[in-house]
Amino acid sequence: MKRVHINILGEVVQGVFFRAKINEKANALDVTGFVRNKDDGSVEAVFEGDDSDVDELLDFCREGPRGAQIEDVEIVEEEYDGEFEDFEIRY
């Protein structure tokens, strides 16, 4: 099991349904955690789940939805602790 805390940085990462697409993919992969927009224009997320599922979600974050312009995905691996029961969009 794996847990990562990420920040998605770029010219356009908000306003392109990034949170909704991450939520959709996380639920399909049975990954738990959250995603939210930050005041600085980035998108923050925490993912917990099977290694391969978390990695697949990270691959999506590097590509993004149509219209996204991603410069970097900062990834910090953390200790898995099963904190989340599901995946949610935070506001």
Q: List residues with catalytic annotation.
A: 19, 37
Q: How far is CA 67 from CA 12, 15, 24, 84, in A?
A: 7, 9, 17, 30
Measured CA to CA, the distance from residue 61 to residue 87 in angstroms comes to: 15
CA 69 to centroid of chain Cα atoms = 15
